[in-house]
Structures are given as structure tokens and as C-alpha cells.
Structure 1
Amino acid sequence: MTRPWEADPSASFHRRLGRSAQETDDSDGRDACPDIWQLSNGDVAVIGRDLTGTYAARLPSGVSVAADERLVVIPGNMLSAAKSDIPDA
């Protein structure tokens, strides 16, 4: 069975949405920095902490995480900083 949407692994990183983790003070500049990127095909890549296992038992009704998906968490201020880069629907 095919899904209505599938991630395209051939898409490349196009532009950062918002500011870097260093600019938002969410990184010490060494490694493991959260980030949000628009890909060349318009999809969005989010780099964050994998908390799939932590949230698995408490997902709201109607929410699921497939075996090939991960629930990642990023600092709220990073998403707020990206707001001006995200077009309205």
C-alpha cells in the first residue's frame, strides 16, 4: 500500500528556516544542534531530540508514529524564529 505522501531522499537542503541554534542560544556550538530546513522539493527537515519512545504511550487520540517515523522535539523559540520564513497556507 502506498501512502499519500512519501519523503523523497533525493531532495537536498535548500535553506534554513529561521536562525541557527547558535543564534537562538540553543547550542553550545560544539554539536547536536536542533535545526529546521526547507528541502529542494519544498518539504521540511527538522533536526531535534528523538523522543519517540518517551511520548509513544501518551500520544493524543488519532496521533500515531509509524515504524519508519520519529517524534522529534525542538526548542519553541526556534520555530518562532522560523515563522517569517514559513509561508501562510
Structure 2
Amino acid sequence: MARAWKADPTALFVRRLGKSAEELGKTDGHDECPDIWQLDNGDIAVIGKDLTATYRSQLPKGVALAADERLVIIPGIMLSSAKEDIPDA
């Protein structure tokens, strides 16, 4: 069965949603930089800590991860700061 949605690996980063990790005090300036970006095709890229292995066995009923998907965690304040950049459905 084909997936209803597929990520487009040719899509480009257009704009950050919300504030940077640096602006929010959520980075040490070296190797950690959670982020949320809108791509030129309207999709969203989330950069966060990969905790797929930790959460795979704890997913709520009806939630699944495909073999090529990862569950990432970002600081809650990052999503909150992006609220004004995210249009209503």
C-alpha cells in the first residue's frame, strides 16, 4: 500500500518558525540546535533529539512509526514561540 504522504528530499529551507535555540537559551552554541523550519513546498522540518528507540514501545494507541521515521524531541518553548508563524488550518 502506498503512503498518502511522502517527504520531498528536494524541498529547500525557506524560513525558521519561531525563535532560534540561541534566542531561547536552549543551546550551548556548539553542537545542539533544535529548530523548526518551513520548507519551500509547505512541509515542516523539525531538528531535535532522536528518541525513537526510547519512545517506540511507549507510543499511544493509534500512533505508529514507520521504519524510516524518527521521533524527535524539541523544547516546548520552541513550538510555543513558533505559534504566530503557523497559520490556522
What is the TM-score with the length of structure 2 in the denominator? 0.97
Quick one: distance in 1 between partners of 2:5 and 2:24?
32
Residue 30 of structure 1: CA displacement?
A: 1.3
RMSD between aligned residues = 0.6
Quick one: distance in 2 between partners of 1:64 and 1:33?
26
Which blocks of at least 5 consecutive residues in structure 1 are unaligned? Answer: none
1:53 counterpart SS class: helix
Does structure 1 residue 36 correspond to structure 2 residue 39?
no
Alignment size in residue pairs: 89
Q: 4+ residue runs of structure 1 moved beyond 2 angstroms?
A: none
2:45 counterpart SS class: strand
1:38 counterpart SS class: strand
Report what 1:74 is aligned to: 74
What is the TM-score with the length of structure 1 in the denominator? 0.97
Does structure 1 residue 49 correspond to structure 2 residue 78?
no
Does structure 1 residue 22 correspond to structure 2 residue 22?
yes
Quick one: distance in 1 between partners of 2:26 and 2:16?
15
Does structure 1 residue 11 correspond to structure 2 residue 23?
no
1:39-76: CA deviation from partner (whole Å, max 9, x where unpaired): 00000000000000000111000000000000000000
Which blocks of at least 5 consecutive residues in structure 2 are unaligned? Answer: none
User: How many percent identity over aligned positions?
Assistant: 69
1:77 counterpart SS class: helix
Quick one: distance in 1 between partners of 2:18 and 2:28?
18
